[in-house]
Amino acid sequence: MESIKVEPGKTRVGWIGTGVMGAAMCGHIMDAGFSMTVYNRTISKADGLKARGAVVAESPKQVGEQSDVVFSIVGFPADVRQVILGESGVLAGLKPGGVIVDMTTSEPSLSREIFEAAQAKGCNAVDAPVSGGDKGAKAAKLAIMAGGREETVAALAPLLNAMGNTTYMGPAGNGQHCKMANQITIASTMVGMVEGMLYAHKAGLDVPTYLRAISSGAAASKSLELYSQRILQRDFDPGFFVAHFVKDLGIALNECQRMGLSLPGLALAQSLYVSLKAHEESNLGTQALVLALERLNNTKLPTIS
Amino acid sequence: MESIKVEPGKTRVGWIGTGVMGAAMCGHIMDAGFSMTVYNRTISKADGLKARGAVVAESPKQVGEQSDVVFSIVGFPADVRQVILGESGVLAGLKPGGVIVDMTTSEPSLSREIFEAAQAKGCNAVDAPVSGGDKGAKAAKLAIMAGGREETVAALAPLLNAMGNTTYMGPAGNGQHCKMANQITIASTMVGMVEGMLYAHKAGLDVPTYLRAISSGAAASKSLELYSQRILQRDFDPGFFVAHFVKDLGIALNECQRMGLSLPGLALAQSLYVSLKAHEESNLGTQALVLALERLNNTKLPTIS
């Protein structure tokens, strides 16, 4: 099977899922000179891209019919299954030689299933979840973790490079596995950050001074940099939704069970995040983890404006 | 009580504990122009400082007699108690107006006890544990977390500045509390790092490629920067001893119990580190945490040279 040749002005690109992340990423590809057909369940969320010249399709299938390469970034694995493999999904419309690139953080097994289904139709598929959040998406500085055929990933470079830096991780599903390991690392780092802050507060330290004292030392992390000040300000607006992190950690735990891998830190972090869901805090950002530890301890960090 | 005036060439400085960290820190103070009297249990470890002009004393008490400010950095709280409060300890020799600065990571309650004992003798005491390891000590870039009287800490600036950056945390014991919160943060960050690496390996990813993919993203941390490559190389040489980290996390857990604070991530990390002790791995560096997770899972990361 020949790899696709991707050229601005020639290759027709499709995009499914124009939320905060997707809209920014799609915009970068349009800026790189590619024509674009988009679809979103809530159609109004594609208005900005339409105003910039994107064609709005009525179904993922229609996007597939009008595109050579179709990207998707949606919420949950069930959404991925529907927009790619469903009756009105991308694959029902895509012509042989076309490529599907799913950037949703989703199940490695689903990525392999999509890859097989695409191959059976003479198409290709890549799983390419990202790390870096809305800020990374807007700045085109996402870390993209790609699984699939290496030559397909290489051929997509003009498109992927418009969104960030890509690392090829191996066969279909390995992009997802890389993202899972990434989330596992972040999960316990978040636990360490909020536990340190609660200890400092309970021990009578001034928490901002504590954070200043440790932030350039061995306890430093991207989580501390991104979230510790927001926590002090009680700013729980989502950079990354609790609901999505709970999904990611749940997939990771399922994969661990399948592989016979015991990761107690992951299990602990997941159970704490699930408790946020129980308190209807799924739509907050992941820094809301502090709320779970505050409830556990019947205490509350001071609010610093 | 007047604060001491610290001046190079005039203020006589003492140092107890000339291990890897202590010797480097003591050397910086000598470089800043202060005369120095040192004591170490294993006397040969003071040879380098002696060759540079330090006087070697026969007991901590003798160091106290010959110094205006005495620093200590030893192993465990019992050692701190002995060298400061013991019969031949610093406080038995120190004259009124003198200052004891304990830089060992130790119990907040012991720091308060030392402070009270010093005050009763007309002396002062500061707890000033550090973060930054042997590298930070050598580069004079330690994060120093100081508890005690604010004017005492301020007066010590010419000495403390020679070793790193100092943050004043409040009354006696608060330097130790700050260090505890710092260690709590690091503990779960380490768990997240090694669990992510084990997941990546078990899922069939190339672990160095995985680390490259995530190291500039949201999973980045000082722990990842310091330890992930050493783990891949199976380099378990101590930058920071497991034995000392087990001590620190044990103190932190005791303090949590005293304060009625439940920190499940700390409890988990501590139990994993204690398991290293059970395998006689106390003299390895903290990156040896991976060994506990490898045993749990009957797996082993590949060795990368």
Residues A198, A163: one domain?
no
Is A167 in contact with B212 (Cβ distance < 8 A)? yes
DSSP B272: H
Residues A28, A150: one domain?
yes
Extract the tokens encoding A224: 């501390």
Q: Is residue B5 part of a domain?
A: no
- Candidates A83, A137, A138; CA nearest to A106 is A83
In tens, the pLDDT along A247-297 reads 999 999 999 999 999 999 999 999 999 999 999 999 999 999 999 999 999
Query: Domain holding A94: CATH number?
Result: 3.40.50.720
A182 touches chain B (CB under 8 A): yes
Across the interface, of A133, A212, A260, the residue whose CB is closest to B167 is A212
Residues A195, A215: one domain?
yes
Average pLDDT over residues B25-52: 96
First-to-last CA distance in chain A? Answer: 59
Residues A113, A206: one domain?
no
Is A255 in contact with B145 (Cβ distance < 8 A)? no
Of A154, A172, A190, at which residue does a domain stop? A172
B26 min Cα distance to partner chain A (Å): 20
What is the span of the domain harbouring residue B194?
178-297
Question: Which positions ≥6 away from B158 have C-beta within 8 Å?
Answer: B6, B7, B8, B32
Count Cβ–Cβ pairs < 8 Å, chain A vs chain B. Answer: 244
Number of domains, chain A: 2
How confident is the prediction along chain A (305 residues), in pLDDT tens digits per residue?
567 899 999 999 999 999 989 999 999 999 999 999 999 999 999 999 999 999 999 999 999 999 999 999 999 999 999 999 999 999 999 999 999 999 999 999 999 999 999 999 999 999 999 998 888 999 999 999 999 999 999 999 999 999 999 999 999 999 999 999 999 999 999 999 999 999 999 999 999 999 999 988 899 999 999 999 999 999 999 989 999 999 999 999 999 999 999 999 999 999 999 999 999 999 999 999 999 999 999 999 999 98
Residues B16, B151: one domain?
yes
Torsion over CA of B212, B215, B216 and B222, rounded to 10 degrees?
-150
A200 close to B181: Cβ distance less than 8 angstroms: yes
Q: Is residue B305 part of a domain?
A: no
Question: Which positions ≥6 away from B185 have C-beta within 8 Å?
Answer: A192, A193, A195, A196, A214, A219, A221, A224
B251 close to B107: Cβ distance less than 8 angstroms: yes
Specify the 3-state DSSP secondary structure of A39: strand
Q: Is residue B4 part of a domain?
A: no
Give the CA distances from residue A87 to residues A93, B106, B120, B186, in Å, rounded to whole numbers and listed in that order: 10, 65, 83, 49
Residues B188, B162: one domain?
no
Extract the tokens encoding B201: 């390996």
Mean pLDDT score across all residues of chain B: 96
Q: Is residue B304 part of a domain?
A: no
Q: Is residue B130 part of a domain?
A: yes
B170 touches chain A (CB under 8 A): yes
Residues A183, A64: one domain?
no
Question: Which positions ≥6 away from B188 have C-beta within 8 Å?
Answer: A188, A189, A191, A192, A195, A265, B265, B266, B268, B269
Extract the tokens encoding A172: 């279909």
Distance CA A166, CA A177 (A): 15
Phi/psi at A14 (5° precision) = -120, 155
Of A172, A205, A222, at which residue does a domain stop? A172
Q: Is residue B3 part of a domain?
A: no
Query: Domain holding A200: CATH number?
Result: 1.10.1040.10
Q: Which positions in chain A touch B189 (Cβ < 8 Å)? A: 188-189, 192, 219, 221
Extract the tokens encoding B78: 């019992």
Residues A137, A279: one domain?
no
Q: Is residue B269 part of a domain?
A: yes
Phi/psi at B279 (5° precision) = -100, 20
Percent of chain B at pLDDT exceeding 70: 99
- Residue recorded with tokens 């590809």: A29
Q: Is the ipTM above a cut-off of 0.90?
A: yes
Distance CA A278, CA A285 (A): 15
Question: Does the annotation mark B179 as catalytic?
Answer: yes
With 0-12 / 13-18 / 19 or more C-beta atoms within 10 angstroms meaning exposed / middle / buried, residue B53 is exposed
Active-site residue numbers of A? 179
Of A172, A195, A219, at which residue does a domain stop? A172
Chain A residue closest to B272 (CA)? A264
Residues B51, B150: one domain?
yes
Of B141, B179, B202, B222, the catalytic one is: B179
Residues B16, B158: one domain?
yes
Residues B141, B213: one domain?
no
Residues A246, A205: one domain?
yes
Q: Is residue B282 part of a domain?
A: yes
